[in-house]
Amino acid sequence: MPNSSVIGWRTALSAITTSGALRPVGPRAALSIARAYHSYGRSLGLLVAVSAARHPDRIALIDDLGAVTYRDLVRRSETIAGALHAIDPRLRSIGILCRNHRGFAEAVIAGSRLGCELVFLNTELPPVQLARILERHRPEALIHDDEFLGALTETGYTGTRVRAWCEPDTESALPTLDQLARQRHSAPPPVRRPVRITLLTSGTTGMAKGVGRNVGLRPALEAAASLAAASRLRRQDVVVVAPPFFHGFGVAALAGQLALGATVIARRRFDPEITLADIERYRATVFIGVPVMIQRLTAVPDDIRRRYRTGSLRLALTGAAPIPPAVIAAFLRDFGPLLNGYGSTEAGVVALATPDDLAYSPKTVGRPIIGVSVRVLRADRTPAATEETGAIFVRGGIGFSGYTADPTGSAPTKEIVDGYVNTGDMGHLDTHGRLYIDGRDDEMIVSGGENIYPREVENALAEHPAVTDVTVIGIPDPEYGQVLRAYIVTGATEPADDELKQHVRDRLERYKTPKQFIRLAEIPRNPSGKVLRHRLDDHPAPRQDRP
């Protein structure tokens, strides 16, 4: 079965060279780079420290507080690391509960300098789940924003706590990153081991699972080479990084741009009009966002969008959740080229769809990146034929070594076949080796003996000009076993159910037509844009099941 990588090594290395990442440096910068390699283990922090040595005066990050250079970002972070080491010389793990701002980056760099495991915590967790995750991972210190003070009090967490983003009207005896950055302590000892990071899965169907791994240089280089070749990113880029930093996509985007030496624009909360203003003000060249952010940018009314000059934008990258082909088409029309990535917390980056791939079919997620191999297997785990839907298995990349065990010592598992890990997604390959995602294996709906993947129906409904967001589920039915129910968000006009049904029938087989349409004010989603299906009925509908 075709399974060629999205790009070859020769092209990838040429792109990395063009990006400026391998440009020679002078003696002073070379000494600083050597110091960084001596002080940091293999870690995300090392990548930023090397960039600081190469171009210290370049702006690293612009957030709600303003701009900070690479030199100042790394100096502050190393001073924070020294202060944390003075508090607890045996510190081995740090939880990070921050939104998108410099405090997150400082926590990552400081934790890397200490050799601590970095546990990235979801900022949307309710206190009960946060308590369970803290009990499971047991970070010895927490760096968090003020907005989580109450939630952390409810969890009963007793470790070291440091405030990152501080609200002016908040009183607390806890130290802040700013205070630690003003202290003077001896530098921590050099780190002699890879620095482990732990990400949480999306948790859309239950308790978020922990996926821990060491930072591997080879898979990181393979992913970076593939992305560099497909996107032609360079250190001169000004990049809006909108996905939450705690998410795998977000932290990879942040670390990748800082490793390259680019300038990152970050806001604590995503707002499409503020994003347009940032693109104009800073002449941003790249936008990185999850699909729901791409969708919200395309939904900005034309009269508002035209107020902002976005001609500097040459590329956008998206991933981490399904994106309807209609949204891709709207973005290409209004803003320009788009890259769509496919991956998971467990597998990392799996595939990339280039603008050429999306021009061929906006439904594809492209071809595997360098170092990754994909198989599509039937239920009996034999290879599926070209264009045949099956379970997607992945080998290579950052790899998967299991989930974090809970305090009882148990942990969920993933199916592995010949070294290939089951992603939980269903899909198929075309004759050119492009991968298509048809849905989740636990979302397939059997209606009257026919197998239906909701994504296909969602994509069809998303093409209706009045539908701004949609998700489809199966509900029990005495005659058919299951039938389809569509939850939709509409714009200025609201089509009748019969119009929506005919719209689907014109595009898909009749049995894929939803029987019910529920109208919502919004589709509940997590920060990465995935639908929280268990909360669909928590959002009251203005009207539903219209005749």
Residue 514 in any domain: the answer is: yes
Contacts of 162 (CB under 8 A, 6+ apart): 84, 141, 142, 143, 144, 174, 175, 176, 177, 180
Is residue 205 very low, low, confident or very high in pLDDT (cuts 50, 70, 90)? low
Task: Please indicate, yes or no, if residue 462 is contained in any of the structural domains.
Answer: yes
Q: Cα separation of 322 and 439, whole Å?
A: 9
446-467 burial, b at 16+ Cβ within 10 Å, e below that, comes to ebeeeebbbbbbbbbbbebebb
CATH code: domain of residue 453: 3.30.300.30
Task: Output the pLDDT for position 84.
Answer: 98
pLDDT recorded at residue 11: 58
Global pTM? 0.84
Number of residues written out for the chain: 547
Residue 283's pLDDT band, with cuts at 50, 70 and 90, is very high
Determine the pLDDT at residue 478: 84
Bridge partners (DSSP) of residue 474 are: 484
pLDDT at 348 over 90: no
Which of 202, 222, 252 delimits the end of a domain? 202
pLDDT-above-70 percentage for the chain? 90
Q: Which band of pLDDT confidence, cut at 50, 70 and 90, is reported for residue 535?
A: confident
Distance of alpha carbon 312 from alpha carbon 246, whole angstroms? 28
* pLDDT attached to residue 411: 60
- Position 217 scores a pLDDT of 66
**Count of domains for the chain:** 2
Each residue's pLDDT tens digit, 429-480:
999 999 999 888 878 888 887 888 888 899 899 999 999 999 999 999 888 8
Helices (H), 261-415: 272-282, 291-298, 302-305, 325-334, 355-360
Q: What is the pLDDT of residue 16?
A: 57
**Within a domain: 289:** no
Structural domain ending residue among the three candidates 141, 168, 202? 202
The range of the structural domain enclosing residue 149 comes to 1-202
Q: Alpha helix locations (H) across 431-475?
A: 454-462
Range of lowest pLDDT (117-126, 277-286, 467-476, 520-529): 520-529
With bands split at pLDDT 50, 70 and 90, how would you rate the model's confidence at 415? confident
In a domain, 415, yes or no: no
For the residues 231-247, what does the mean pLDDT come to? 92
Q: Is residue 144 a part of any domain in this protein? A: yes
Q: Which residue has the higher pLDDT, 537 or 302?
A: 302
Q: Which of these three, 152, 187, 202, is where a domain ends?
A: 202
Band the pLDDT of 542: cuts 50, 70, 90.
Answer: very low
What pLDDT score does 170 carry? 86
pLDDT over threshold 60, residue 15: no
CATH code at position 65: 3.40.50.12780
Q: Confirm whether 171 is domain-assigned.
A: yes
Q: What is the pLDDT of residue 73?
A: 98
* pLDDT of 412 over the 70 cut: no
The answer on pLDDT for 423 being more than 50 is: yes
Does residue 280 fall inside a structural domain?
Answer: no
Q: How confident is the model at residue 545 (pLDDT cuts 50, 70, 90)?
A: very low
Q: What average pLDDT does the structure give for the chain?
A: 88
Answer with the residue of higher pLDDT: 405 or 354: 354
Instruction: Report the pLDDT value the prediction gives residue 528, as an integer from 0 to 100.
Output: 73
Whether residue 186 lies inside any domain: the answer is yes
